[in-house]
């Protein structure tokens, strides 16, 4: 534990300087200004987006300083961060998760697969993109996979910090 | 479902259901009436003159001597107060469980024998009543004798209670011969080395009845297997007579003793309290849990007695008197919440046939009254404010914390350690009772039997409501019991004082120590805070969006199944890990592989069993030794009548030679 503390002291802060706050996304909901609790749902992703999300919430990009936080249950969440194309097995859980998230609820589709089925478009186990399964997608993050900067910019468009 | 005894009397009973109902009602009302008589007699003895009676012709050589002083009167009130609701409860329970005629007959006799113990005024009478009580309780334990576990438990209990009786018998005989008197009122001082012998023997004997470690093993076997009203009577009334014996013989008649007596009582009490509560917190059988909780509470009471003895010897009479009051008050509280707990467990057992917490659950909906009543009992056993056991435990801690040590090393060491033991016991008992209540009654039913539960008969509910009222009164207004406790405590030499040690009122004050507490006001404040919180929540909810009805969150799956819930085993698992060295659980995992490949698993079996480690370590060697000895002695028993006649003649010859 001493070594661990020593390393923390030696390395210091490695966080990237924050770029200027982006414009608010048109569909952003005003109630989530300042703080947004996010439940991440992997609807059938290749885990590329997950790696970038963990990068975005890691010490270098540190999304939590902008008021975005990952939580463990949709009951605690304001927003759903959905990655991947929606597969047959995840269709029902995704709907259940959306129903379990209290209103006002924001759906963020992360990555090309979630936006438009991406490279898995014609695969046999695919139901559709997130927009085709849930009624609405409020924030879109394009890219295959999207960079941590893009993810953070999208989250900041809701939290406006 | 529980198998129903199909022996000869039961078959007869099935042919005449009407007659059996009358029998149950008669046995129940007889028990309740004897109990009421015990309460009345006890109150007369506590407040009035001590009635004394001597019946010379009833028992050869010594006669029967009855003398009820305030201390005996206190225990008589306690036993009677437990017997009245248990009698009412038995009317419904015995009918439902189809008790045989023998048990119905013995139940009132058992209560009478217990009352006789408190009223005994001489050593032979005391021993006779003690043995009657033990025999009656053994007969009641084997009510359900078709099941092998019941027979084994009853045998175990019978052996232990008789061994305890031998210790008491020898101890009291030594005492009587050294004093040359057998009436309690005519007793003088016992000479020194014999006094210690009597103390050790009687503490062992009475401690085994009170379920003190390491002689507690019968409790966890007999209480679960006995019918619930019998468990309630045994745990709430009979076990307290072990404490009565310790007070009567060791503290009043031959005491107050030297300092090591006090330290021994404190040690035994602390060990019992901690070991009992630890076993209770990992038990999965609800009645076994309650039985271990009895060991825990008797340990606390023994600690209070030890503290009283220690402090009175160390020149702190106020604290000593408070500890003695704590002991007696906790006896009352324990009798109330433990009889209620066993009756509520019996109500569940009658409705579902279940004792295993891992298969219970979801009983709050079909059995609301039983659930609330078990909650009252569990709160009492926790020792938290608003529970019946709170005030007495608070008094004990106050006596230990505020005892002025005045440079006394033993007191300075023992008091803080004892406070620690009481605190750990209370904390673990909260865990045990939260488990019993939360796993057993809340959540969803874990088995078909729990799903089909129905509320119990009206007589059983009535009896439990009576006891629950008693629990609430003891919790909120212990002043109700103040006078009885004060008179009884005055008999004890460690607590004799002109002014009462504890000033019971709306605010309980300790004149000697300067502590005070108001359980009634605490309860009022708690209820007020609860109401305020509810009102505030309602008021805030006006501004929220309208509520929606949604299914429970099941991690995206369709529904939760009862198998996903916490069980009693999993709830206690962290505790079991922490206390692994004490509990010594035996767990093993069997992995069965597929026939085609070692990499594929077809089944995993996990078994976890917590046996009583002390029982295995201490009792098993003794049992093995006795068996070996029996093997040796067996050679003398070859079945020949001639040989046996020769033994008889030889025996008579030896007796004649000795008695020449």
B64-68, B115-119, B366-370: least confidently modelled range: B64-68
Average pLDDT of the segment spanning B174-201? 84
Average pLDDT of the segment spanning B17-29? 86
pLDDT higher than 80, residue A84: yes
The answer to whether residue B589 neighbours chain A at the CB level (below 8 Å) is: no
Distance CA B253, CA B492 (A): 9
Cβ contact B112:B80 at 8 Å:
no
Average pLDDT of the segment spanning B512-519? 79
B346 in any annotated domain: yes
Pick from B378, B371, B471, B390: which is nearest to B433 by CA? B378
Average pLDDT of the segment spanning B508-530? 85
- Give chain B's length: 660
pLDDT higher than 90, residue B653: yes
CB contact under 8 A, A94 and B556: yes
Residues B420 and B501 grouped into a single domain? yes
Strand-strand pairing, A68-70 and A139-141 = unpaired
Residues B369 and B445 grouped into a single domain? yes
pLDDT at B11: 41
The answer to whether residue A89 neighbours chain B at the CB level (below 8 Å) is: no
pLDDT higher than 90, residue B586: no
Q: Which of residues 106-145 of A touch B (CB under 8 A)?
A: none
The answer to whether residue B550 neighbours chain A at the CB level (below 8 Å) is: yes
Per-residue pLDDT band for A26 (boundaries 50, 70, 90) equals: low
Q: Which domain, by its residues, includes B613?
A: 583-660
The answer to whether residue B552 neighbours chain A at the CB level (below 8 Å) is: no
Q: How many CA atoms lie within 13 A of B184 on its CB side?
A: 31
Average pLDDT of the segment spanning B294-303? 95
Interface test with A, best of B548, B550, B553 (most A CBs within 10 A): B553
Average pLDDT of the segment spanning B425-443? 93
Shortest Cα–Cα distance, B553 to chain A (Å) = 7
CB contact under 8 A, B556 and A97: yes
Average pLDDT of the segment spanning B201-222? 91
Per-residue pLDDT band for B27 (boundaries 50, 70, 90) equals: very high
Cβ contact B238:B130 at 8 Å:
no
Q: Residue B588, SS3?
A: strand
Distance CA B351, CA B372 (A): 16
Strand-strand pairing, A139-141 and A106-110 = parallel
- Percent helix, strand, coil in chain A (nearest 5)? 40, 15, 40
pLDDT at B6: 42
The answer to whether residue B558 neighbours chain A at the CB level (below 8 Å) is: yes
Which residues in B109-145 are b (16+ Cβ under 10 Å) and which e? bbbbbbbbbbbbbbbbbbbbbbbbbbbbbbbbbbbbb
Among candidates B545, B553, B558 on the partner chain, residue whose Cβ is nearest the Cβ of A100: B553
Tokens of B420: 């620690």
Residues B298 and B398 grouped into a single domain? yes
CB contact under 8 A, A96 and B557: yes
B343-347, B410-414, B493-497: least confidently modelled range: B493-497
Distance CA B392, CA B410 (A): 24
Q: How many CA atoms lie within 13 A of B314 on its CB side?
A: 29
Cβ contact B586:B611 at 8 Å:
yes
**Higher-scoring residue by pLDDT: B58, B486:** B486
Pick from B290, B238, B287, B299: which is nearest to B82 by CA? B238
The answer to whether residue B557 neighbours chain A at the CB level (below 8 Å) is: yes
Contacts of B446 (CB under 8 A, 6+ apart): B358, B359, B360, B361, B362, B562, B563, B565, B567
B612 in the Ramachandran plot: left (φ > 0), alpha (ψ -120 to 50) or beta?
beta
Q: Residue B369, SS3?
A: helix
Cβ contact A134:A115 at 8 Å:
no
B413 in any annotated domain: yes
Average pLDDT of the segment spanning A44-52? 95
Average pLDDT of the segment spanning B527-552? 87
Among candidates A41, A73, A100 on the partner chain, residue whose Cβ is nearest the Cβ of B550: A100
The answer to whether residue A73 neighbours chain B at the CB level (below 8 Å) is: yes
Pick from B637, B518, B629, B571: which is nearest to B284 by CA? B571
Distance CA B161, CA B131 (A): 9
pLDDT at B596: 85
Pick from B134, B135, B123: which is nearest to B208 by CA? B134
Per-residue pLDDT band for B144 (boundaries 50, 70, 90) equals: confident
- Tokens 């796993």 correspond to B439
Distance CA B137, CA B204 (A): 20
pLDDT at A38: 96
Distance CA B153, CA B148 (A): 9
Cβ contact B474:B324 at 8 Å:
no
Distance CA B231, CA B107 (A): 12
pLDDT at B30: 94
Distance CA B123, CA B65 (A): 9
pLDDT higher than 90, residue B580: no
Answer with the one of B471, B500, B516 that is the final residue of a domain: B516
Tokens of B348: 């569940």
Per-residue pLDDT band for B498 (boundaries 50, 70, 90) equals: low
pLDDT at B3: 45
H-helix or E-strand spanning residue B235 = none
Cα B134 to Cα B239, B332, B461, distances in angstroms: 11, 22, 29
Average pLDDT of the segment spanning A131-148? 92
Instruction: Quote the crossing angle between the two packed helices B70-97 and B101-119, to the nearest 10°.
Output: 170
Per CB-CB distance under 8 Å, the chain A contacts of B547 are none
Per CB-CB distance under 8 Å, the chain B contacts of A96 are 554, 556-558
Question: In chain B, which residue's Cα lies nearest the Cα of A72?
Answer: B555
The answer to whether residue B591 neighbours chain A at the CB level (below 8 Å) is: no
Per-residue pLDDT band for B12 (boundaries 50, 70, 90) equals: very low
Answer with the one of B500, B516, B532 that is the final residue of a domain: B516
Per-residue pLDDT band for B286 (boundaries 50, 70, 90) equals: very high
Please state the domain count of chain B: 2
B240 in any annotated domain: no
DSSP string, A39-102: EEEESS--SHHHHHHHHHTSTTT-GGGGTEEE-S-GGG-SEEEEESPEEHHHHHHHHHHHHHSP
Phi, psi of A141 (to 5 degrees): -120, 110
Average pLDDT of the segment spanning A113-133? 92
Give per-residue pLDDT as tens, B53-109: 787 777 776 778 888 888 999 999 999 999 999 999 999 998 888 888 888 999 999
Q: Whole-number mean pLDDT of chain A? A: 90
**Higher-scoring residue by pLDDT: B9, B350:** B350
ipTM of model = 0.75
pLDDT at B10: 43
pLDDT at B491: 85
Q: How many CA atoms lie within 13 A of B356 on its CB side?
A: 9
Per CB-CB distance under 8 Å, the chain A contacts of B545 are 103
Shortest Cα–Cα distance, A149 to chain B (Å) = 30
Cβ contact B226:B141 at 8 Å:
yes
**Centroid of chain to Cα B311:** 26
Give per-residue pLDDT as tens, B604-628: 898 888 888 788 888 888 888 888 9
B74 in any annotated domain: no
Shortest Cα–Cα distance, A152 to chain B (Å) = 26
CB contact under 8 A, B553 and A75: yes
B530 in any annotated domain: no
Q: Whole-number mean pLDDT of chain B? A: 88
Per CB-CB distance under 8 Å, the chain B contacts of A97 are 556
Shortest Cα–Cα distance, B544 to chain A (Å) = 11
pLDDT at B16: 66
- Tokens 């207004």 correspond to B477
A23-32, A101-110, B99-108, B161-170: least confidently modelled range: A23-32
CB contact under 8 A, A100 and B545: no
Answer with the one of B516, B534, B562 that is the final residue of a domain: B516
The answer to whether residue A72 neighbours chain B at the CB level (below 8 Å) is: no
Residue B609: DSSP 8-state: E
The answer to whether residue A16 neighbours chain B at the CB level (below 8 Å) is: no
Distance CA B82, CA B89 (A): 11
Residues B378 and B274 grouped into a single domain? yes
Distance CA B480, CA B279 (A): 33
Cβ contact B66:B54 at 8 Å:
yes
Residues B344 and B442 grouped into a single domain? yes
Among candidates B545, B550, B556 on the partner chain, residue whose Cβ is nearest the Cβ of A93: B556
Per CB-CB distance under 8 Å, the chain A contacts of B555 are 93
Q: Give domain A33-159's CATH architecture.
A: 3-Layer(aba) Sandwich (3.40)
pLDDT higher than 50, residue B501: yes
pLDDT higher than 50, residue B7: no
- Give chain A's length: 161
Residues B496 and B618 grouped into a single domain? no
CB contact under 8 A, A103 and B550: no
CB contact under 8 A, A96 and B545: no
CB contact under 8 A, B553 and A103: no
Angle made by CA atoms B409, B415, B420, in degrees to the nearest 5: 130
Per CB-CB distance under 8 Å, the chain A contacts of B544 are none
């Amino acid at each position: 534990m001493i070594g661990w503390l020593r390393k923390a002291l030696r390395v210091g802060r490695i966080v990237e300087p924050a770029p200027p706050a982006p414009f608010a996304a048109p569909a952003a909901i005003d109630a989530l200004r300042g703080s947004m609790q996010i439940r991440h749902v992997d609807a059938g992703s290749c885990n590329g987006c997950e790696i970038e999300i963990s990068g975005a919430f890691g010490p270098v990009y540190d999304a939590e300083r902008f008021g975005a936080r990952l939580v463990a249950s949709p009951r605690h969440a304001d927003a759903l961060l959905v990655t991947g194309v929606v597969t047959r097995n995840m269709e029902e859980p995704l709907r259940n998760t959306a129903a379990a998230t209290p209103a006002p609820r924001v759906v963020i589709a992360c990555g090309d697969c979630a936006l438009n089925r991406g490279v898995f478009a014609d695969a046999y186990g695919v139901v559709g993109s997130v927009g085709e399964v849930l009624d609405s997608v409020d924030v879109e993050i394009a890219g295959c996979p999207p960079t941590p900067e893009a993810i953070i910019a999208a989250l900041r468009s809701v939290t406006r910090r | 479902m529980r198998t129903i005894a199909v022996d000869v009397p039961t078959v007869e009973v099935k042919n005449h259901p009407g007659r059996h109902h009358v029998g149950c009602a008669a046995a129940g009302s007889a028990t309740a009436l004897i109990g009421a008589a015990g309460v009345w007699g006890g109150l007369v003895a506590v407040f009035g003159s001590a009635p004394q009676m001597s019946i010379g012709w009833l028992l050869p050589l010594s006669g029967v001597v009855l003398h009820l002083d305030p201390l005996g009167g206190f225990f008589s009130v306690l036993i009677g107060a437990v017997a009245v609701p248990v009698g009412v409860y038995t009317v419904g329970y015995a009918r439902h469980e189809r008790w045989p005629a023998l048990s119905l007959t013995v139940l009132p006799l058992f209560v009478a024998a217990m009352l006789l113990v408190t009223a005994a005024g001489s050593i032979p009478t005391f021993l006779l009543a003690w043995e009657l009580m033990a025999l009656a309780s053994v007969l009641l334990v084997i009510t359900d004798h078709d099941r092998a576990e019941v027979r084994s438990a009853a045998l175990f209990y019978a052996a232990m209670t008789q061994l305890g009786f031998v210790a008491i018998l020898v101890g009291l005989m030594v005492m009587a011969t050294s004093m040359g008197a057998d009436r309690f009122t005519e007793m003088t001082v016992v000479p020194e080395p014999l006094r210690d012998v009597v103390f050790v023997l009687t503490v062992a004997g009475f401690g085994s009845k009170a379920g003190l470690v390491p002689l507690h093993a019968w409790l966890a076997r007999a209480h679960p297997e006995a019918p619930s009203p019998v468990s309630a009577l045994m745990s709430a009334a009979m076990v307290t007579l072990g404490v009565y014996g310790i007070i009567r013989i060791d503290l009043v008649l031959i005491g107050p003793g030297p300092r090591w007596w006090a330290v021994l009582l404190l040690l035994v009490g602390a060990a019992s309290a901690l070991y009992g509560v630890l076993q209770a917190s990992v038990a999965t059988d609800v009645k076994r849990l309650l039985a271990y909780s009895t060991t825990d509470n008797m340990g606390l009471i023994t600690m209070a007695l030890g503290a009283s003895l220690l402090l009175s010897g160390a020149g702190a009479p106020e604290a000593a008197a408070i500890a003695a009051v704590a002991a007696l008050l906790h006896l009352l509280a324990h009798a109330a919440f433990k009889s209620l707990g066993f009756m509520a467990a019996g109500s569940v057992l009658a409705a579902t046939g279940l004792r295993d917490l891992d298969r219970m659950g979801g009983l709050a909906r079909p059995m609301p009254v039983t659930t609330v009543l078990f909650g009252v009992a569990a709160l009492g056993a926790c020792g938290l404010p608003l529970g019946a056991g709170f005030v007495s435990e608070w008094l004990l801690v106050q006596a230990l914390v505020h005892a002025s040590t005045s440079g006394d090393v033993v007191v300075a060491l023992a008091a803080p350690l004892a406070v620690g033991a009481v605190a750990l016991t209370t904390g673990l008992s909260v865990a045990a009772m939260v488990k019993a209540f939360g796993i057993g009654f809340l959540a969803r039913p874990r088995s078909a039997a729990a799903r089909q539960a129905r509320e119990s008969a009206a007589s059983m509910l009535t009896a439990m409501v009576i006891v629950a009222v008693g629990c609430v009164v003891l919790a909120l207004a212990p002043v109700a019991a103040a006078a009885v406790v004060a008179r009884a405590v005055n008999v004890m030499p460690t607590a004799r004082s002109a002014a009462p040690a504890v000033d019971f009122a709306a605010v309980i004050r300790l004149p000697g120590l300067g502590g005070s507490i108001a359980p009634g006001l605490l309860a009022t404040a708690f209820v007020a805070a609860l109401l305020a919180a509810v009102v505030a929540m309602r008021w805030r909810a006006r501004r929220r969006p309208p509520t929606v009805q949604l299914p429970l969150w099941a991690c995206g799956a369709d529904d939760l199944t009862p198998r996903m819930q916490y069980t009693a085993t999993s709830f206690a698992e962290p505790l079991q890990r922490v206390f692994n060295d004490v509990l010594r659980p035996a767990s093993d995992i069997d992995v069965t592989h597929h026939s085609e490949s070692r990499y594929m698993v077809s089944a995993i079996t996990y078994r976890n069993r917590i046996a009583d480690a002390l029982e295995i370590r201490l009792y098993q060697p003794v049992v093995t030794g006795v068996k070996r000895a029996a093997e040796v002695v067996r050679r003398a028993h070859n079945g020949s009548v001639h040989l046996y006649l020769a033994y008889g003649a030889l025996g008579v010859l030896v007796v004649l030679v000795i008695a020449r």
